[in-house]
A and B are shown apart, each in its own frame.
Chain A
Amino acid sequence: MIRLKLENCSRALALTVISAGLCMGAVSTVSAGTLEDLREQGYATVAVANEPPYSDIKGDGYVTGAAPDVARAVMAKLGVPELRAKVVGYGAMIPALMARRVDMATSGLYIKPKRCESIIYSEPDLCGAEAFAVKKGNPFNILTYEDIGNNKDVTMTTCAGCAEEAYALERGVSKDQIKIMTDPPSGIKMLQQGRVDVFALSGLGTADLLKNFNDPSLELIMPVMGVPMGCAGAAFNSDDTEFRNAYDQALAELKSSGEFAKIVEPYGFSAAATLAVKRDDFCPGN
């Protein structure tokens, strides 16, 4: 009887040791994040939202789109040849960075003061106007967020934790009017089915979705007046200042060599618009 118990004990002990080992293994991979470690392992794990043309994951898992392509070029300069993508919603990108589940977020995450409290950004890499998608003929005559706020019968959809949600709330749209979509294509589906009246997202993202849905009963409103042009940058854990600074330097080289324009313009982004702004315009001292 006693022997049996002892055997149980040692088995439990062995299990504890194994699981502790597993935990430590997990912790050590999570804490990797500096540029040195990335060079050594040969790839960086990046968060993308899978929202073309900002970021786009191909069927075979290859990550492309304007933001990852810029990041890939920059990281290649820094000696990290490969990007591995994780699909993360915009709202979850900052927690993912803070928890070091990813090394960077390269997905057109707009540089916003509130976000800068938690993470740090590279210099802007993509700038674009905002857009709405509405039913053909724009039955509620929605051109700005204020128009939605003024007509409480109108409902809109956007993604969870996206800049558009904040734009809407700041401009008089009530919480009840916003139905959070699970992903952008489902948002368009909700618009088609009349579950919402307005779909709000980045201009190029919305335009790309409408092109793919190819539904003549929908209409694009772009640019949305009264909101700033959204500028995104690669985002980093706030402890990775050194990594971020190295990234900035390589990005600057990319911009001045003209390679940057060659990457972003085929996606419809204006390189000139991006070159005209600095991170400090949005988040001074970030």
Chain B
Amino acid sequence: MEWSWQVVYEVLPSMLDGLIVTVQASLVGALLAYVIGLFLALLKMSKTWIIAKTSYWVSECIRRTPLLVQLYFLFYVLPDFGIFLSPFVAGVIGLGIHFSTYTSEVYRAGIENVPKGQWEASRALNYNAYQTMRHVILPQAIPPMIPPLANYLITMFKETPLLSAITVVELFNAANIFSNSHYKYLEPMTLVGLFFLIISIPAAYAAMKLEQKYKPKNAG
């Protein structure tokens, strides 16, 4: 098997289009995961027993089933109930909801890790709930959340090829469609790997830097 630059030249344009879709899907999916995850975390920490339990189990059900199955459900099953999503929209919703169950745990852990004494101190200062969150809890809770949230963005980026199952032409699918009609796999699949590396290695490096920057100062 010989490496052919001709094949690289032919497949590159459609792969670059695919790369754009991949990046878009990761960013929009991550945004959804961050926002939905925050709501999910608040629901899980609710004082009302039934809300806390329900949201906990909903989140478990989503987290413990494969994303691929959820994507098929969103794309092929929901239209039968009258909910029609385009491939891209179904894809980012699937990614967003699936990963929101992970990010919600990050939020929850972040908030719960603020020492109890901080809450008591706020009460002693006669802060209301907003002031407690805004000035005491969140400034301590948010920094340690940032590195794991960034890591989930990278994980989601790597999961985007799953969207090919619901006809989203992202990076992998663009290469695969080319391979299927040209019978060449070496160059397109190598390029897929390279493109993912080109983006995920710097991203992982940035996440590592974030981790160092936001290392909890009161640790130990």
Contacts and interface: CB of A to CB of B under 8 A. Distances in A.
Interface of A: 89-92, 94-95, 98, 118, 160-161, 165-166, 179-182, 186, 189-190, 193-195
A91 B180 contact: yes
Contacts of B169: 180
B101 interface: no
Contacts of A92: 179-180
A190 to B, nearest CB: 8
Given A95-B179, A160-B176, A180 B167 contact: yes
6 smallest CB-CB distances across A and B, nearest first, come from A91-B180, A161-B180, A160-B180, A193-B79, A161-B181, A94-B183
B58 interface: no
A165 B185 contact: no
Nearest to B80: A193
B122 to A, nearest CB: 53
A248 B190 CA distance: 38
B177 interface: yes
20 contacts: A91-B179, A91-B180, A92-B179, A94-B183, A95-B179, A118-B183, A160-B181, A161-B180, A166-B181, A180-B167, A180-B173, A182-B165, A182-B166, A182-B167, A186-B76, A190-B167, A193-B79, A193-B84, A195-B87, A195-B167
A180 B181 CA distance: 11
Contacts of B176: 160
B179 A189 contact: no
Interface string B83-110: 0100100000000000000000000000
Contacts of A193: 76, 79, 84
A153 B148 CA distance: 44
Nearest to A169: B181
A190 B79 CA distance: 10
Nearest to B185: A95
Nearest to A179: B167
A209 B68 CA distance: 24
B183 A180 contact: no
Interface in B162-179: 165-167, 169, 173, 176-177, 179
Contacts of A161: 180-181, 183
A89 B79 contact: no
Nearest to B176: A160
A166 B181 CA distance: 9
Nearest to A166: B181
Contact of A189 (B76, B84, B173, B177): B76
B8 to A, nearest CB: 17
Contacts of A118: 183
B165 to A, nearest CB: 6
Contacts of B181: 91, 160-161, 165-166
Q: Which of A94, A118, A180 has the most CB of B within 10 A?
A: A180
A126 to B, nearest CB: 21
Contacts of A194: 84
Contacts of A90: 180
A98 B167 contact: no
A80 to B, nearest CB: 26
Contact of A95 (B76, B84, B183): B183
A194 B80 CA distance: 11
B16 to A, nearest CB: 15
A197 to B, nearest CB: 15
Contacts of A89: 180
Nearest to A157: B167
B79 A98 contact: no
B84 A180 contact: no
B167 A181 contact: yes
Contacts of B87: 195
Nearest to B86: A195
Interface string B16-43: 0000000000000000000000000000
Contact of B183 (A98, A165, A166): A98
Contacts of B173: 180
Nearest to B184: A95
Contacts of A95: 179, 183, 185
Contacts of B179: 91-92, 95
A49 to B, nearest CB: 12
Nearest to A194: B84
Q: Which of B167, B173, B176, B185 has the most CB of A within 10 A?
A: B167
Q: Which of B76, B166, B180 has the most CB of A within 10 A?
A: B180
B11 to A, nearest CB: 13
A90 B167 CA distance: 17
